[in-house]
Amino acid sequence: MSRKRFALVWLLGGLGTVVVSALVTAVLLKNNGWLGYWRLVAGGAEAVAVVTRTEPQNHCLAEYTYTVDSRSYSGRGPECATTVGERVPITYLISDPTFSCLGSARARLYNELATFIVGGVILPPFIIFAIRRRRRQS
């Protein structure tokens, strides 16, 4: 395979990996993964919550409560470095305060997108080399 062809396959494979990863997470993950964070960035507000329970053995799960317009809400999300009673920042959706995430939705969105991009850069060469190796062995 020429370098030019390899680069093209890598680029197309990378774009495909990013698109498929984004679609799968948006559909299968609770709160829609990056799409949920996108909603929070576009229509959210920041507040302070209080951690009510932690489960370090369960993917660092932390449950929290927060108040919006004198109503109490609760949420949960991954946060390893928190303890019960600690005040933590959250982002909630203004139009639906039951929808929230721990920390900055913008930072979590960037993290999700960066993960897709890294996967799009790393995964295609492994697939290309595996296919080439298999063809040579046949």
Q: State the pLDDT at residue 50.
A: 98
Instruction: Please report, for residues 7, 77, 87, 95, the alpha-carbon distance to residue 50 in angstroms, rounded to integers and kept in the order given.
Output: 49, 13, 5, 21
pLDDT beyond 90 at 130 = no
Q: State the pLDDT at residue 136.
A: 84
Q: Rounded to the nearest 5°, which phi and psi values hold at 11?
A: -60, -50
Q: How far apart are CA 117 and CA 36, in angstroms?
A: 18
Q: How far apart are CA 114 and CA 99, in angstroms?
A: 23
pLDDT beyond 80 at 138 = no
Structure tokens at 125: 């060469």
Q: Rounded to the nearest 5°, which phi and psi values hold at 80?
A: -75, -30
Query: 40 in helix, strand or coil?
Result: helix
Q: State the pLDDT at residue 48.
A: 97
- Mean pLDDT, rounded, for 81-91: 95
All domains in the chain, ordered by first residue: 31-117 (2.40.50)
Q: State the pLDDT at residue 127.
A: 82
Q: How far apart are CA 84 and CA 63, in angstroms?
A: 9
Residues 6+ apart with CB under 8 A from 133: none
pLDDT beyond 80 at 112 = yes
Q: List pLDDT tens digits, range 17-58.
A: 888 888 888 888 878 889 999 999 999 999 999 999 999 888
pLDDT beyond 90 at 100 = yes
Q: Rounded to the nearest 5°, which phi and psi values hold at 83?
A: -130, 160
- Mean pLDDT, rounded, for 56-78: 94
